[in-house]
Chains A and B, each alone.
Chain A
Amino acid sequence: MKRSGRVAVLLLVLPFGTASAQGYTARVDVRGQAVDFRGVQLDSVAVGSVITGPTGGPISPDSIAVTCLAGATFCQFYRPGPRREAVPVTTGIDLTMWGLGMSGLSLHGNGRLFADFGDNNAWPGSVPAGQLLEAYAQYDSKGFIGRLGRQTFSSRLGFTGFDGAWLLLERLPANLQLGGYVGLGLADGVALPITSAALNPFNEFQPSERQLVAGGNLNWITPVAEARLDYQREVDRDTRNFVSERAALSATVRPWRRVSLSGGTEYDFSYGWWGTSDVTASYTEPRLGLSAGARHYRPYFNLWTIWGAFSPVPYNAVNGSVSLRPIPKLEVRARGERYWFENTETETPLVNEQDNGWRWSAGATYQLAARLQVDGGFATDFGPGASSQTWSGRVGYDPRENLRLSLDLGTLKRPLEFRFSDANLDWVGVRADWQVMGNLQLGVGAIRYSEDRNRPDNAAFSWDQTRIDFRVTYSMSSGTEWAPLPPARRLKTDR
């Protein structure tokens, strides 16, 4: 076990041995699934073996379209790849402790252990075997909060993880709050340092040391408005070069009851350009939610990669959504977005590619009876690279208050723009979620996927499979301080 893994286990286990008379809440969560996936496999055939196919193009002897470069002795093609079977099982432990002899002091830990009982850790995220998502001590006093340890920090610049210290002064004059943090950063979107081998599947350049991350934020909060200014920089400790330097401004105003205007923007000092920005107007009442907005999306790359020098262009979009409850038992929803990429300055008469697109979805949830609910939705998108159309539905039935059964059905089509691979997928699945007792939840599901990857040659393949999954969640606490909470996210069929 690597050092980070040992630290993770230590931080999670240590409190149990030292805090016999303290308040605590803990959740142990075991989840697993059995899933297949299938891709392609590069192959080649000698130029002399290539034959002409029925449509006039070159094909391999087993009728797969090949690509032959001028002067090359071999032509290349991609045949259906092997099935990859993955059985990732995760054990998650979440612990909070307080009553440590100092009012306001608490300890928090959240870690996961992974094992993949399938093909060579085929499922993404299964390595390394342990991950410490958070482990910090928090001191929460009137006027400020401080944290020390591994933690995540959410700002407009991302959901950042780091090992270090964070402080927020909450009661400054003029409704202001001031926060700051400094530490050794984790990689984007994962609780691993950038030096982890798991983050270098292509064996590319990888920093030898973790970056130093520091930032601050100034918040202004009133009952009708709030604004937040963020600044963050990351520095390569080896070369002292910047890894990133960005700032962001976000604000929300509620000029009238039920109406809000929110938006924000990012600025990347390294590239000297404005990053993702958006503005949204919302109207919300118990039976109606409306939103309309505009968005400017620009991908972000740090300076450890060369990708930013390739000038990724942003797109601009307008969007809107509505959710309506015309009668108490029925909720309908719809949303849509239209977007246009900015000029890439790469036009060539040889290739005509999409530079704009749209996506929209609609769905409805109806309470057929007190314990019976149906949900259906349609989602479609059309744009560069790929498109899709999805019909899906779910029937939920609660035979008992602590038991939920559901049936999922759906079908989708997904053509690609740059490759002949029109996927057709149909599925039907069942699942059961059972609150066995106050602190024990069980879940089990099975779903049958029928998927065809259609092509006009023999590289087409079927990929039918049955996926099963399970979940066991056990919660403990020193008292009634914490009740098991239902999932925070709403399950929708048209996501």
Chain B
Amino acid sequence: MMITALLVAATIIAQPDTGFDHQVHARFFPLCSTCHAGVTESRASLWPAPASCAQCHDGKIQPAVRWQPRLGPSPTNLRFSHADHLAVYRRTKPETNRPTCSDCHTPAGASWMTVRRTVSRQCLECHGITADHFAAPDTACATCHMPLATVAGFTREDVARFKAPPSHKDPAFASGGHGKLAQPPTENGRSFAIAPSCATCHARDFCITCHVNAPETRTIQGLGPDPRSLAIPATFEAPASHTAADFLTTHGKESRRSTQACQTCHTRESCLTCHNGQPDLAKAMFTAGPGRGPGAQLTRHAPITHTAYWDEQHADMARSRARNCLGCHTRTQCLDCHRPNPGDATGYHAVGFLTRHPAAAYAREADCSNCHNNQQFCASCHQQSGLVSSGQLNPGYHDANRFFGAGHGQAARQSLETCVACHSERDCLQCHSAVAGRSFDPHGPGFDADKLRKRNPQMCSGCHGQAIPGK
């Protein structure tokens, strides 16, 4: 029983995936053409009729089998025809009586009916190609292989099993090398629309996965459409230039120099992911649509100059190179901060700034007037908050310092912009006016009466009336 089981197991193991074990049947068939008449006779079938198997496998002599010849197109992309090959041999080498079936389907020295699929090496040798299979010249591919788009017998799974040739592993292959390889070769008057090596495994749909400029690229149009080609995954690989640290700042110049190169992978939409409006270069790009790839999907990145504190450091650049800024920003974005929106709760400042703002304002950590009008913004809100004088100087607010009134000069000269958020000119003129006040001189370091008087004597008259000193 054990021996039987081992024999059965051995039989199963030896059974080739064709379903028919030629060697087991070796003693029954002296000729290949007994079953494969179609090899030599064009009208006959390449496969035996199931009834011929049933002559032995009738369920009595031998177990019945349910073998059926393959229907439909052959699952191969080979141009091979037994009849053609025989005809050529018979015409060119009638004396050799070759080839025989064993020449191609039996390994050298093997016994009768040791059958295998033909290996590509044999094809190459007969056709005089000395290179490896994947290193064969482009024109040689077309000798044996049909373009994928014309192969009916392959499924997506068959296509997915294609092995990539070594050329595809070249680091430069994705970024441009494959384009050069795809250029159609010419040989002995034969012309191709695209390199046959590409067409063997790929179709136009595969190229469109990446190529935005597919409709404009002759080599891609040289391929037929075939969705099965999508079974081979295509991945975008950015060229080495894109990884340079300053790429964001230099890509504009580069793209002007080689717009066509950018058009390969980028659509107009990919430009507009970052750039606004319709910059000239974006106009030159193709828009995404049928027949084109979607293009590289970009994420908006700030240039490296835009560090964490760029918002506080951007002014110089924005003034001198405003056009640079407008490449990615709109003037509205400038106005969003520089003209604050009262309805906007997520403005420039962080959460809690309303409570913290006295510290920022007293010490002027920034120039508030770049974005806020003191009267409209500071004074009107302080007025709503009761933080303004009411026509006379009211003591008591600055109560942390008993003598603040007498010693307010230092605070005033240091933080005058803060004082005027609560105090009117009238408040100060109660003491500092030379006409109606107590004539306390407010002028301090750096005061140049002559300069001021020459430019605007009206300002002087605010305190001095008509009796402006030195006039």
Contacts and interface: CB of A to CB of B under 8 A. Distances in A.
A495 interface: yes
B454 to A, nearest CB: 9
A489 B307 contact: no
Interface string A76-107: 11100100100011101010100000000000
Contacts of A156: 315, 319
A137 B121 CA distance: 74
Interface in A4-42: 23, 25, 27, 30-33, 35, 37-42
Contact of A385 (B332, B363, B420, B425): B363
B345 A284 contact: no
Contact of A485 (B316, B330, B352): B330
B276 A495 contact: no
B376 interface: yes
Given A39-B387, A81-B386, A344-B414, A285 B304 contact: yes
Interface in B368-388: 368-388
B414 A313 contact: yes
Contacts of A483: 269, 272-273, 276
A348 interface: yes
Contacts of A258: 245
B3 to A, nearest CB: 61
Contacts of B307: 284, 289, 291, 321, 323, 333
Contact of B343 (A88, A291, A307): A88
B344 A78 contact: no
Contact of B369 (A131, A188, A390, A481): A188
Contacts of B446: 271-273, 311, 313
A483 B276 CA distance: 7
B161 to A, nearest CB: 32
Interface in A272-324: 272-273, 276, 280, 282, 284-286, 289, 291, 297, 299-301, 303-313, 315, 321, 323
Given A201-B375, A241-B457, A299-B417, A485 B333 contact: yes
A412 B356 contact: yes
A492 B370 CA distance: 20
B376 A351 contact: no
Contact of A269 (B245, B380, B451): B451
B463 A76 contact: no
A481 B336 CA distance: 21
Nearest to B306: A490
B135 interface: no
Q: Residue among A198, A388, A431 with the most chain B CB within 10 A?
A: A388
Interface residues of A, number: 177
A112 B420 CA distance: 27
Contacts of A469: 343-346
Interface in A21-69: 23, 25, 27, 30-33, 35, 37-42, 65-67, 69
Interface stretch (B61-69, B83-91, B142-150, B405-413): B405-413
A351 B407 contact: yes
Contacts of B400: 416-420
B444 A310 contact: yes
Contacts of A272: 446, 448, 451
Interface in A462-495: 467, 469, 471, 480-483, 485-495
A337 B395 CA distance: 34
B397 interface: yes
A398 interface: no
Contact of B335 (A152, A291, A353): A152
B444 A303 contact: no
Contacts of A239: 456, 458
A410 interface: yes
Contact of A390 (B336, B352, B386, B420): B352
A304 B317 CA distance: 31
A357 interface: yes
Contacts of B360: 381
B362 A385 contact: yes
A335 interface: yes
Contacts of A204: 424-426
Contact of B316 (A124, A250, A449, A489): A250
Contacts of B355: 412, 414, 423, 425, 451
B394 interface: yes
Given A200-B375, A271-B448, A343-B445, A488 B425 contact: no
A297 B364 contact: yes
Contacts of B451: 269-272
A386 B350 CA distance: 18
Interface centre among B330, B339, B382 (most CB of A within 10 A): B339
B6 interface: no
Contacts of A359: 363, 365
A125 B340 contact: yes
B462 A306 contact: yes
Contacts of B331: 108, 110, 134, 152
Contacts of B189: none
Nearest to A156: B319
A306 B451 CA distance: 14
A149 interface: no
Nearest to B409: A346
Nearest to B253: A223
A42 B416 contact: no
Contact of B344 (A90, A116, A282, A284): A90
Interface in A347-382: 347-348, 350-351, 353, 355, 357, 359, 363, 381
Contact of A344 (B345, B406, B444): B444
Nearest to A321: B309
A276 B373 contact: no
B416 A384 contact: no
B190 interface: no
B338 A37 contact: no
A482 B425 contact: no
B352 to A, nearest CB: 5
A124 B381 contact: yes
A35 B457 CA distance: 44
Contact of A189 (B300, B352, B377): B377
A363 B384 CA distance: 35
28 contacts: A31-B345, A39-B384, A94-B332, A125-B377, A159-B338, A187-B375, A190-B339, A199-B373, A202-B426, A221-B321, A226-B320, A239-B458, A241-B456, A271-B448, A271-B452, A303-B455, A303-B456, A306-B425, A312-B416, A346-B407, A346-B413, A346-B444, A388-B359, A414-B359, A416-B400, A469-B344, A490-B311, A495-B350
The 8 closest A-B pairs by CB, nearest first: A39-B385, A351-B407, A385-B362, A311-B444, A346-B409, A90-B343, A289-B307, A469-B345
